[in-house]
Structure 1
Amino acid sequence: METIKEMNIDVKHIATLTGHSGCVYGMDKGMSEHTVFTGGSDRFIALWNLETLQAEKFSASLPAPIYAICHIPEKNILLAGTTTGSIHILDLEKKEEIKILQHHIGPVFDIQYSIKTNCFYTAGGDGNFAVCDLDTMSLLKMKKLSQEKVRNIDFNDTTSEIAVALGDSNVLIFDLQTLDYKKDFIAHQLAEKIIGANTVRYSPDGKFLLTGGRDAHLNIWKVGNYELVKSIPAHNWAIYDIVFSPDGSLFATASRDKTIKIWDAKTYQILKRITKENFEAHTHSVNKLIWSSFHNYLVSAGDDRMVMVREVNKI
């Protein structure tokens, strides 16, 4: 039986934002701390204002469902990856599409960028991991990592590493600057059956890597040797996202089981379970999380077409 440690945080539902007509899969911070971009199966990108709790006068329509969104404020562009493998590059100042990349032949599940390398990185359902130049928006390198999906990407600025989660259960570690291979390990399995890794997230201090998989486990790995520190049966179904609070003291997990859970980042104790039974919550899979520094809002998006905003405070 899971032990709930209800003691030091308060979660308040602020708003449920409606407007999408399909599942919401992609989300990223907007042009300020109080805005977020969302996109999904309805092929639309929306911009939400967390201050007014309304949609901004911005929208973009793409020819295919959207799985991934990446806002690059330093370049004033927005990248959107679709189910057909296309990556659409939108100039936010001109409010127009400036380029389409088609180097993946499977869905684009994740897009991340690094100003340190001046590159952005894409994870494809075709098993490919791609690197593109942020100035020319052209493909620099393509790596075939798996016969399964490449699901998620995260950076460790402390150690200058990239972690990549694969659908074949492996997590691969590369050098950020050179992309040289450093380490790989089986991150998730169920009853000795290898099962997909869905998400990777480095702790803000760079000392630990958190992974979530189709086995519903949250695994914590020590950076360096990447030995398993702790394995927690965190959810009833697959974990789709992990996000840290702005001060790094908490993190949240999102799952296909319709729940969000908030955890102590030092002890890995669960502090709050957000479900339909005890909160206004998602009725379907929760796919994506953002933890904004604006009022410490935790924003979630899911298959129920909803974007939900909650304020999290320590008490």
Structure 2
Amino acid sequence: MMFNGYNEDLVESIRQWLREDVGSGDITSLSTIAVGDESKGIIHAKADGIVAGIPLAELVFKIVDPSLSFVSNVKEGERINRGTILAEVEGSTHSILTGERLALNLLQRLSGVATKTQAFVNALQGLPTRLVDTRKTTPGHRMLEKYAVRVGGGANHRFGLYDAVMIKDNHIKGAGGIAQAVSRARAHIPHTMTIEVETENIEQVNEAISAGADIIMLDNMSHSLMKEAVKVIRSKSPHVKIEASGNVSLDTIQGIAACGIDIISVGQLTYSFDNLDISLDLNAKKEAQDL
């Protein structure tokens, strides 16, 4: 996702988020700072991590006030250290303070996602297994959080319910079995779309193979059971991709990958991360114009 393209939906979302925060106006700034006052805002990191969302922060300030100058000092995806100056925004003090909180909220969250993602990517270094996210995202922020996963070096799973078939336990129950679910899905979808089946035991793995699943997910399996499942799949249907999910942590991910897994999906990349500590401080304050 490229923020510099100023996607219309993204711009409207930012306008909505600003309305939520600003309302009828920033009463504190309006009552304490002279109209026409200009400042430079220094955006800096207070922790080490991976930066993501710099173009988004710029877009926030540009929507608040197109006359603001925004200069980035780092690249998206760059590893930064505590004290690194990420960007400088200069112009109307009122405008800078109006956009400050939203710009920082988004920058902190996306950098937090990217930082956590890269930690998992690093844990898989040298292994052929691919790290992907899930649909466990903040409502309204899925595109942004999935973007941050890519910035951190991960990849995206399906974006929603519309772009791939994933047959989970409740679908299996509702359809009356894996074979029925896969058969009905195959008849309904275009030939370019894949079908993934979630399995919890070897019996379901065999059913998914027989049904012609393109991807088989091994859900919450022990390492020994995963190894057995991988052996069965590789012997019977070697073209099928194998995904593992559930109970994945930095401590367990290498062991899971070593079972012969192609893809590991990790929900906590987008639902259990720490915001990266980033602040904006006013600096090089200019004299207010007498209006």
Question: Could you state the TM-score of these two structures normalised by the residue count of structure 2?
Answer: 0.26
Query: Which has more strand, going by share of residues?
Result: 1
Q: Whose relative contact order is higher, 1 or 2, with alpha carbons under 8 Å and at least 6 apart?
A: 2
